[in-house]
Amino acid sequence: MPGPDKETDLTERIEAFLSDLKRGGSGTGPLRGSAETARETTALLRRITAQARWSSAGDLMEIIRKEGRRMTAAQPSETTVGNMIRRVLKIIREEYARSRGSSEETDQQESLHKLLTSGGLSEENFRQHFAALKANVIEAINELLTELEGTTDNIAMQALEHIHSNEVIMTIGRSRTVESFLKDAARKRKFHVIVAECAPFCQGHKMATSLSEAGIETTVIADAAIFAVMSRVNKVIIGTQTVLANGGLRAVNGTHTLALAAKHHSTPLIVCAPMFKLSPQVRRLTNEPDFYNFCEILSKVNVHCPVFDYVPPELITLFISNIGGHAPSYIYRLMSELYHPEDHEL
Amino acid sequence: LDQHLVEYFRAQMMKDPDMASAVAAIRTLLEFLKRDKGETILGLRESLTWATDCLTGVDSSVAVSSGGELFLRFISLTSLEHQDLSRCKKVMEERGELFLEKISMSRTKVAKLCHTFIKDGAKILTHSYSRVVLRVMEKAAAEKKRFSVYVTESQPDSAGRQMAEALRKLNVPVTVVLDAAVGYVLEKVDLVIVGAEGVVESGGIINKIGTYQMALCSKAHNKPFYVVAESFKFVRLYPLNQQDVPDKFKYKADTLKTVQNLSEEHPMIDYTPPSLITLLFTDLGVLTPSAVSDELIKLYL
């Protein structure tokens, strides 16, 4: 019978994805880039939409939320999973609203305007059944997948506007986005790159090898030398793991140092981050231990080694994303376009 | 007629001391709307403007003024939809009641958003007496969080002592400090939470005098400075410095009426620019100061 087979197939895939996530996050950094994770999550959500049993938008949202909670619990540091889930939830809300015929561009967010003009405590319960909803949602998710596929290229296309000849660019660790950004600029411009190695995993070494293979003059420096070398740097371009709702970053450890050094020398700090890295989280307090992931390296010595750093929005000059360049103070606006406020907590 | 209005307003404030003054003002204006015998919408707007002026004559705070402006905006928006006056009035009354219901829940929404930022063992600094901050702390205490609070005395009316009393009733350890001791105490503190009488277009706030000082010190000590405010406090002002804040907000209503030379009076409020504020907690969500003007534009334009 096709019914139960499809369901077991679906649960198998979800379990496989979850165990992949659990494995991928510890030790030597993620096994795969966040773009891949985002794509796989979205493909899985599309499969859930196609194969799971649901009759109304509300049911589908419940199923996705439930699976979403399990996925985010499997690997809390991988925020792209949660972000994609929220994007899909917003897609479902929009398609539902469109099917109902209400004007699609109405702000679904709370606003003062809505407080004054709406005629009733609207408790949308998404219970109506629409036949075409499934097809519409799957089509919208397909559009999302196409968008995801083009993100790195879209960001790399903007490289020529920001990098000029004979510039010295500094970066830290390894970011696939920054790599393609710099390689794209190298096709037309000649410039020099300084990579901070980012101990203890030293991903900076791989970055330097890859860049020099593309013909870019690269220098590797130790993390401690960042401040000393900063006076000769024209721009700092970095990637990040997550962009937070207040415009801050959660990036690989050492980024905060880099950002402070750049601020001190008034060097612009540019962050290349695709939109799927934007997360509705806000950083709570200064010394929060569970913000950083700690891991032990030697057995006899307890070494606390944070994997991520928090960079406050005041130190960032520009965000380059697949939809263009934005100031950190504009991030809240992008958030409201991508996610619905009720989905902030899955 | 204005006597009735003022009496109704005062009665509202006394009936529920926990209610925000803007809410009382809106309730009064709604009542006024119900009793109004005007024939035209323009006449209605004029009488409402006059009523708001009366109310600001009683309580000159920013909150009452913003509540009044919001109500006027509400009238304009509704009147655009329905041309016929009597139907318009009916719709207005219904919506007005709904609006009041919604904003009465706004403090709860703010508390729900903010209490997660108070960690176990946190030391909080706050300024003067704010009912919203009190509600946030109630919620945090209800979630069994252990935290302690420093409150500034907040002269000239010692409102800080009232806050300390209320916090003691919640079994929260509280210390009252001098207004001048803010810099002294900040090294011990983890975060600063204040309320606001008004949130201006730039994302800055207008609050009891001493808030600006507290914000400057927090910036110097790198401590997060959080503001909790309901959305009906958003006001269409854009002050660039302390001088830009209109005199009618700075002094109490009685002072404005009786005193000749205002430059000898002490202002009751000050303006804190958005660069010193980390985050604003409102019933519309957690906002960065740059998001505030967006909200105002959505409403007024």
Residue pLDDT, tens place only, B67-95: 888 888 877 777 777 777 778 788 888 88
For B174, which DSSP code? E
Contact B101 A121 (CB under 8 A): yes
Q: Which structure tokens are listed for B145?
A: 């969080």
| Token digits of residue A63 | 């199923």
Confidence of residue A297 (pLDDT cuts 50, 70, 90): low
- In this predicted structure, the answer to whether residue B144 has a pLDDT above a threshold of 70 is yes
pLDDT at site A261: 96
Confidence (pLDDT) at B171: 92
Nearest CB to A329: which of B116, B234, B290?
A: B290
**pLDDT tens sequence across A130-167:** 778 888 889 999 999 999 998 889 999 999 999 999 99
pLDDT digits (tens, 9 = 90+) for B207-231: 999 999 999 999 999 999 999 998 8
Task: State how far the Cα of B81 lies from the Cα of A260, in Å rounded to an integer.
Answer: 53
Residues of A in contact with B296 (CB under 8 A): 112
Q: Collect all residues of chain B within an 8 Å Cβ-Cβ radius of residue A117.
A: 74, 77-78, 95
What are the pLDDT digits (tens) for B146-160?
999 999 999 888 999
Closest CA in chain B for residue A340: B285
CA angle B143, B287, B270 (to 5 degrees): 95
- CA distance linking residue A126 with residue B55, whole number of Å: 43
Query: In the structure encoding, which two tokens stand for residue A232, read together?
Result: 């000769």
Token code pair at residue A248: 């801050």
- Nearest chain A Cα to B71, which residue? A116
Distance from CA of A246 to the nearest CA of B (A): 6
Mark A220-233 as b/e (b = at least 16 C-beta within 10 Å): bbebeebeebbeeb
Which ranges in B82-175 belong to alpha helices (H)?
85-104, 106-114, 131-142, 159-169
Q: What is the pLDDT of residue B123?
A: 95
User: Omega of the bond prior to A200 within 30 degrees of 0, cis?
Assistant: yes
**DSSP-based three-state secondary structure for B245:** coil
Please count the CA atoms within 13 angstroms of the CA of A139 that sit on its side-chain side.
7
Nearest CA in chain B to A332: B291
| Cis amide bond preceding A2, omega within 30 | no
**Alpha-helical runs (H) found in chain A:** 2-24, 34-51, 57-74, 79-100, 112-117, 133-157, 159-162, 176-186, 203-213, 226-229, 255-264, 331-338
Instruction: Please report which residue ranges of A241-328 form alpha helices under DSSP H.
Output: 255-264
pTM of the predicted protein model: 0.81
Report the residue of chain B nearest A112, measured CA to CA. B299
DSSP H or E run through B300: helix B289-300
Q: How far is A336 from chain B (nearest CA, A)?
A: 10
Q: What are phi and psi of A160, to 5 degrees?
A: -65, -25
Q: What is the mean pLDDT of residues B188-213?
A: 93
Nearest to residue B226, comparing CAs of A265, A282, A196? A282
3-class SS of residue A202: coil
Edge to edge, the sheet with strand A242-243 lists: A242-243, A249-252, A308-311
- Which tokens in the block code for residue A181? 């950004």
B81, two tokens: 């939809």
Dig out the tokens for B120 from the structure: 């176990």
CA separation for the pair B298, B295 (Å, rounded): 5
Name chain B contacts of A110, Cβ cutoff 8 Å. Answer: 283-285
Cite the DSSP H helix spans in B115-206: 131-142, 159-169, 182-185
Which of A115, A122, A263, A331 to mutate to probe the B interface, most B CBs <10 Å? A115
Give the closest-approach CA distance of B264 to chain A in angstroms.
38
Taking the CA of residue A38 and the nearest CA in chain B, the distance in Å comes to 26
Three-state SS annotation for A70-121: HHHHHCCCCHHHHHHHHHHHHHHHHHHHHHHCCCCCCCCCCCHHHHHHCCCC
Using a CB–CB cut-off of 8 Å, the residues of B that contact A are 70, 73-74, 77-78, 94-95, 98-99, 101-103, 116-117, 119, 122, 190-191, 222, 224, 231-232, 234, 278-279, 283-288, 290-291, 294-296, 298-299
pLDDT at A171: 96
Q: How confident is the model at residue A116 (pLDDT cuts 50, 70, 90)?
A: low
Q: Report the C-alpha gap between B52 and A141 in whole angstroms.
A: 51
pLDDT of A215 higher than 90: yes
Q: What is the predicted pLDDT for the residue at B127?
A: 94
Residue A124's pLDDT band, with cuts at 50, 70 and 90, is low
